[in-house]
């Protein structure tokens, strides 16, 4: 596996500097495994993420998928906090359990202006995916 352009520590520091209101120790997001264009991140389970019917809400899953893609983009192109989501499509596959959510993001193509990838979401402890996401990020020209 090709090494990441940025380490997990470097990405975490950048996220904390750029988004201190959202990424900080104890925020519930963890960078678990970082390689070039291939990352694994975790969203801690919290009862606030539950919607009626006892499932984890779609917005919580979309947030985690988008976060995982953002981290994957950093792993491939370096510190570009102005990279932005231009498309995100999610397919909910099954009801997640009330457990941490795991996101495995993999970039399929990194070009000069766009990065395209997919994210698979799992409930912690299960091998069955709960959602599949495809996403495209716009990369700033200043790269």
Per-block mean pLDDT, blocks of 10 residues, the chain (143 long)? 91 93 87 97 94 92 97 96 96 96 98 97 97 97 70
Strand order in the sheet with 84-92: 29-35, 38-43, 101-110, 114-123, 129-138, 84-92
- What does the alpha-carbon distance between residue 35 and residue 89 come to, in Å, rounded to a whole number? 23
Q: What is the DSSP string of 57-78?
A: PHHHHHHHHHHHHHHHHHHHH-
- Domains of the chain, start order: 8-138 (3.10.129.10)
- Whether the CB-CB separation of 40 and 14 falls below 8 Å is answered with no
pLDDT of residue 67: 97
- What does the alpha-carbon distance between residue 47 and residue 110 come to, in Å, rounded to a whole number? 36
Instruction: Pull the structure tokens for residue 90.
Output: 């999610």
pLDDT of residue 25: 79
- Whether the CB-CB separation of 62 and 100 falls below 8 Å is answered with no
First to last CA, the chain: 24
- What does the alpha-carbon distance between residue 136 and residue 114 come to, in Å, rounded to a whole number? 7
DSSP state of 111: -
């Amino acid at each position: 596996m090709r090494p990441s352009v940025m380490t997990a520590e470097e990405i975490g520091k950048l996220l904390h500097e750029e988004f201190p209101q959202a990424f900080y120790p104890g925020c519930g997001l963890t960078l678990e495994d970082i390689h070039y264009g291939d990352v694994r991140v975790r969203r801690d389970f919290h009862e606030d993420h539950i919607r009626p019917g006892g499932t984890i809400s779609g917005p919580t899953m979309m947030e985690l998928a988008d976060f995982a893609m953002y981290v994957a983009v950093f792993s491939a192109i370096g510190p570009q906090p102005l990279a932005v989501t231009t498309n995100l499509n999610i397919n909910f596959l099954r009801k997640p359990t009330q457990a941490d959510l795991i996101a495995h993001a993999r970039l399929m193509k990194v070009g000069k202006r766009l990065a395209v990838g997919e994210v698979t979401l799992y409930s912690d402890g299960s091998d069955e995916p709960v959602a599949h996401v495809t996403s495209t990020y716009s990369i700033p020209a200043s790269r």
